Amino acid sequence: MTMDYSGCDMTRPIDPDVRLLAALADPARLEILRELAGSSEVCACDLTDCCSLSQPTVSHHLKVLREAGAVVSERRGTNIYYRVSPALIERLGVIARGLVPGGLVPVADLTGRRPAVSAANN
Amino acid sequence: MTMDYSGCDMTRPIDPDVRLLAALADPARLEILRELAGSSEVCACDLTDCCSLSQPTVSHHLKVLREAGAVVSERRGTNIYYRVSPALIERLGVIARGLVPGGLVPVADLTGRRPAVSAANN
DNA sequence: TCCTTTCATCGATCGCCATCAATATAGAGC
DNA sequence: GCTCTATATTGATGGCGATCGATGAAAGGA
């Protein structure tokens, strides 16, 4: 694997959470991800016309998503099939839980159910 | 309020999800948010020395977080107190659920429990 | 009214990133 | 070997954003 760190700050080693969020924080990449979520597997060739972007640009975005751990890829013949990473949702959940106010707090929020919140601190 | 759209693409009106993710996708802002989550309310003056950044820079980051809907602020006297937006966690949950592979799928993933997944499509 | 404190805005700089056309690489088939 | 298709990489460009110092604006106290 041997990550490429050229042109990297090196003063701090790049928070993986920030890297993941940055990977999602682009309209093209978020659209690609949603396309991937729509059908469990999508060929890269079908993603090329997804955001009206050139093939190299889509390839670049896929690389960013892959290196951030947001998608996984598998080559079959000439084609490469992309899938949403099985770990993605859980990682987002961990990040979100880390932002729940009041230090450590139940968790149920993420499901939409309210945990009768926050008679906690102040 | 009258948002400032100068220097904005205007070809597409900025996906709020992308805007929120972009707000979180910065080491300083994520650290600020986690600081805010730690105690239910933090004065801006206490955030200045949080990331070893200048006061104008922190102020800028707080503005980005505010306009993305990630934090809310309240002025009391000379001080301005920031809190994690009550809607933040739910919005992240909605975004995450939209990325669950297999179209629409239970939801429980976000809590950490596995939903006995995906005898779904292919 | 001044002064001080707290925060926001301005203006400038610099680096990174999204994008593309062109080119390279990889695999399948002949 | 060659050729075609599918992806990746290269190199260049343009724009946006993170950062800072300096300045402005708001609130409270003398």
Asked whether the beta carbons of residue B102 and residue A40 sit closer than 8 angstroms, the reply is yes
Q: Is residue A85 over pLDDT 90? A: yes
Instruction: Output the 3-class SS for A4-37.
Output: CCCCCCCCCCCCHHHHHHHHHCCHHHHHHHHHHH
Of the candidates B92, B99, B111, the beta carbon closest to that of A37 is on B99
Are A103 and A120 within 8 A, CB to CB? yes
Q: Is the CB of B26 under 7 A from strand C?
A: no
Q: Is residue B28 over pLDDT 80? A: yes
How much is the pLDDT for B75? 96
As a whole number of angstroms, the distance between CA B37 and CA B35 comes to 5
How much is the pLDDT for B1? 36
| Strand C bases, protein C-beta under 7 A | 5-11, 16-22, 26-28
How much is the pLDDT for A12? 56
Q: Which tokens go with B82? A: 């920031």
Nearest residue by alpha-carbon distance to C1' of C16 = A7
How much is the pLDDT for B103? 56
pTM to 2 decimal places: 0.82
Of the candidates A24, A108, A122, the beta carbon closest to that of B21 is on A24
Q: How far is the CA of A45 from the C1' of D4 (A)?
A: 15
Q: Which tokens go with B107? A: 């939801």
Mean pLDDT of B33-48: 94
Share of chain A above pLDDT 90, in %: 68
How much is the pLDDT for A13? 66
How much is the pLDDT for A50? 81
Q: How far is the CA of B40 from the C1' of C11 (A)?
A: 35
Mean pLDDT of B98-122: 52
Asked whether the beta carbons of residue A121 and residue B39 sit closer than 8 angstroms, the reply is yes
As a whole number of angstroms, the distance between CA A29 and CA B25 comes to 14
Which tens digits make up the pLDDT trace of A21-71?
999 999 999 999 999 999 989 999 999 988 899 999 999 999 999 999 999
As a whole number of angstroms, the distance between CA A52 and CA A44 comes to 14
Nearest in space to A62 (alpha carbons), one of A79, A78, A82, A35: A82
As a whole number of angstroms, the distance between CA A37 and CA A70 comes to 11
Distance from the A106 Cα atom to the nearest Cα atom in chain B, whole angstroms: 10
> What secondary structure does DSSP assign to chain A, as a single string?
-----TT---SS---HHHHHHHHHSSHHHHHHHHHHHHSS-EEHHHHTTTTT--HHHHHHHHHHHHHHTSEEEEEETTEEEEEE-TTHHHHHHHHHHTT-SSSS--SGGGGT---S---S--
Q: How far is the CA of A96 from the C1' of C16 (A)?
A: 27
Burial annotation A29-59 (CB, 10 A radius, 16+ → b, else e): bbbbbebbbeebebebeebbebbebeeeebe
Mean pLDDT of A75-96: 97
Which tens digits make up the pLDDT trace of B49-87?
888 999 999 999 999 999 999 999 999 999 999 999 999
